[in-house]
Every structure is written in C-alpha cells, then in structure tokens.
Amino acid sequence: MNAAAYRISPALAQLHENNYPVIDLHTHLKGGLTLDDVIRRFHRTGINAGVAVNCGLGFAITNDAGIDQALAELRHPLTFTAMQAEGREWVELFTLPAVARFDYVFTDAMTIRNPAGKRMRLWIREEVEVGEPDAFMEQLVASTVAILDREPVDIWVNPTYLPDVLAGDYDRLWTPERRQRVIAAAVRNQVAIEINARLRLPTARFLREAKAAGARFTFGTNNGGRDDLGNLEYGTEMVRECGLKWQDFWVPGLNPTRSQRALAAGQRQIIAP
C-alpha cells in the first residue's frame, strides 16, 4: 500500500504516537461488513478492531456450538474476537468454558426487566414503559449495578444509554449520586467503560468522574453496518477534553478476562451460585 492510501487522521496519529490502544473494541460484522473490510480499515486508518458477535436470546448465537462456530470463522491474527452478551438470559444459555474462549466479553444495560417483570429492550420504543422517570432511573441504575456485579463481563458498553423518550433529560436524570453508583460498580468489578463513538456516550463529566474513581476505558463504535464505523472521533475528543492517559485504557490480553479468572478459580457456572 503506498502512502497516499493511508488515511490516519492527525488525532489518531497522536494517539498512536502516545501509546494509546487505538482499537475499536465494539465492531460488528453487520450490514455486509466483512472481516476483510475490518482488516482493510486497520491498514488504512490504523484502527484495529475487536470483532464482536451477539450472543443471547433472539440472536444468531444461542449455545456453545454457535460460539465454537463463530470463533472458528472469525479468529484472525490481527484482530480480537469478542462476545457481546445479550439480554440477561445469556448466563443460562452458555457454559463458562465456552465464554472464556473469547478474547473479552461485554454487555450493556439496554435489556432489563421492570418491577412487573416485563422484559424491555430500551432502544425499541414499543417495548419501553418508562412511567415516572425518576423511578425508572432507580430501576435502571439498580439493574446496571447488578449486571456489573454479577455477570462476568470485561466492558460495559453503550454506557448510560437512555431510551429516546428520556434522552433529552439525560443531564438531570443521571444525577451525581446515580453516576457515582454505576461508576463504583464498574471500578470494584474491574469492568472497563466504553467511550461509545456512535451514541457519543458517556458524557465528559461522567468520564472525568470515572477516571477519578480509577475506572478504565475502551474505544467502541457499535456500528450497525458498513457506513457508520467512523474514526473514533468521539473517543479522541474525550481523551483530549478529559485528559485521559494511555494508562487509563483497558486492553484485551493484558490480564485474563473475568470469565477466564472465574474458570481458573474453579467456578463452573457463569454466575457463581
């Protein structure tokens, strides 16, 4: 590839020079995007990737055999391979040894149950029953903390996402006390917090507080297809705005994943009994 074919933005070049892990750890092969495209992006832009497969109820992968097949197809020496654990049922669908085969595992708090037991995907308007906003927030924060405490994931992605109907009130609803509770849960469980390029979440204020509390961060896009991958613009903005150092970032492979640690400790189920 000749020099003209490279399109490494000045902001990304600066991250590379300063030892930041320039990896989009939330890349999906959706909308026709192929592993070859992801490798080409790496060569062209300098952004490496973790390619994540969605695993859970209602998704393409619902059992260990599906994990085996995905890993056989997607493992590549230049990229990482990740499990996006979906919904809350995933802990019943897979075994811990299968989950521990991934380079890392992540989840979000976008599928939760309300006090009446209704399963809600927060990005699907028809499923969301918000009711009184502050009561909903308490439930969302409690669910997020329970996920980070119980589920053996390495990254909390799409962090602090709110359903459309509440998103306009984000700054009021994510009170200091609520921010503090989810940040503390991430820190005590050593779960990294994604800086999500597509949703532009979480906010600079949240990231500064999380950094002060000792959290680690990752870059991620959560692309829906081929055309919305971008160049991690929000992440590079937040590095600058919040003074994040390379040491503030989490990278796969530095330490065993949470599921690998649980397995090594003799745990046999995804959730310790």
Query: Which residues would be at the binding site for Zn ion (CB under 5 A)?
Result: 84, 222
CB of 262 to Zn ion, least distance (A): 23
Q: Which residues, 6 or more positions from 265, have their beta carbon under 8 angstroms from its beta carbon?
A: none
DSSP character at residue 78: T
CB of 191 to Zn ion, least distance (A): 16
CB of 205 to Zn ion, least distance (A): 24
CB of 16 to Zn ion, least distance (A): 25
- Nearer of residues 52 and 100 to Zn ion, judged by Cβ: 52
CB of 116 to Zn ion, least distance (A): 27
- Nearer of residues 111 and 222 to Zn ion, judged by Cβ: 222
Q: Which residue is nearest to Zn ion (CB)?
A: 222
Is 185 in a helix, a strand, or coil? Answer: helix
- Nearer of residues 100 and 157 to Zn ion, judged by Cβ: 157
CA distances to 58, 98, 150 from 55, in Å? 9, 12, 17
Q: Which residues, 6 or more positions from 183, have their beta carbon under 8 angstroms from its beta carbon?
A: 193, 206, 209, 210, 213, 215
- Nearer of residues 79 and 222 to Zn ion, judged by Cβ: 222
Reference 174, options 140, 208, 143, 150; nearest CA is 140
- Nearer of residues 178 and 217 to Zn ion, judged by Cβ: 217
CB of 28 to Zn ion, least distance (A): 6
- Nearer of residues 52 and 186 to Zn ion, judged by Cβ: 52
- The residue type at 154: D
Tokens of 109: 């708090």
